[in-house]
Amino acid sequence: MNKLILVLAGAIMLTSCNRQVGAIFGRKSDKLEVVDPEFEYFSAKAKFKFDDGEKGVSATANFRIKKDSIIWLSITPGLGIEVARVLIDTENVFVLDKLNKQYYEYTFEELSKEYDFDFNFKMIQSVILGNLVEPYKKERVEKSDNYFSYTASKGVYLFHNFIGTKSMKLEKVKVFHGGTRNTISVNYGDFILVDGQIFPNEISAVIDYEAETKPNTEISISYNKMVIEDNPISFPYAVPSKYEKK
């Protein structure tokens, strides 16, 4: 099973019976004030698709998050049987491949070397929630009709961010690696209000590899249930004794 599915799908979030943002905000704002959602525990259910040019996957994913601490993901294809489970903490990524009775354990440093991209917990959580990965400085922000935009750099990475003037949420981000020249582009849409806070209901991401021999990877997420939990939730993850470490 392609581990990148689990990391990026576990790298991508969010309750419904809420109004869409378009019905909440009747006019555009002239002042940029991005507010990240506040919660301690969060759960969600979504349909997602993955295509890396060699194989395609369509499945249901259940997410659980303890903010700034744990991301948990369970993947179930059409037959309704769980085939994989992922646990991500601030240091490591654990993957349980139930289909092949195998498991994987990675530090973020190992994962970043394998995929030529600087994965870390904050980045994955930000992508899932639609938060800014790198903060903005007001003097660098440019305003157009529909977006506030700015660029930010961190090491070899350059972030191009576009915040909607209506949603006041990140709607587009493109991350460029100055060494490999690989890029990740993420689009957020269909924003909804969850317990007074705004989340993206639709997320799509494309990993564009500079090497012509490596096809693009595409991921799309469509949420049908998102809940800010009032009480602590569990994050079950255990490796059966007969599973082989890969």
What whole-number distance in Å separates Cα of residue 2 and Cα of residue 52? 9
140, part of any domain? yes
244, part of any domain? no
50-68 tens-digit pLDDT: 888 877 888 999 999 999 9
CB contact at 8 A, 142 and 3: no
Binned at pLDDT 50, 70 and 90, residue 227 comes out as: very high
15-30 tens-digit pLDDT: 333 344 444 444 466 6
238, part of any domain? no
102, part of any domain? yes
Taking all residues of the chain, what is their mean pLDDT, rounded to a whole number? 83
CA distances from 194 to 11, 211, 229 (A): 21, 41, 11
Residue with the bigger pLDDT between 223 and 233: it is: 233
Q: Specify the pLDDT at position 197.
A: 80
236, part of any domain? no
List the structure tokens of 155.
């090491």
156-182 tens-digit pLDDT: 889 899 998 888 889 999 988 888 888
Residue 58 is part of a domain; what is its CATH number?
2.50.20.10
Q: Provide, rounded to the nearest whole percent, the portion of the chain with pLDDT above 70.
A: 87
212, part of any domain? yes
- Total of domains in the chain: 1
Tell me the residue range of the domain where 33 lies.
Answer: 3-230
Binned at pLDDT 50, 70 and 90, residue 116 comes out as: low
27, part of any domain? yes
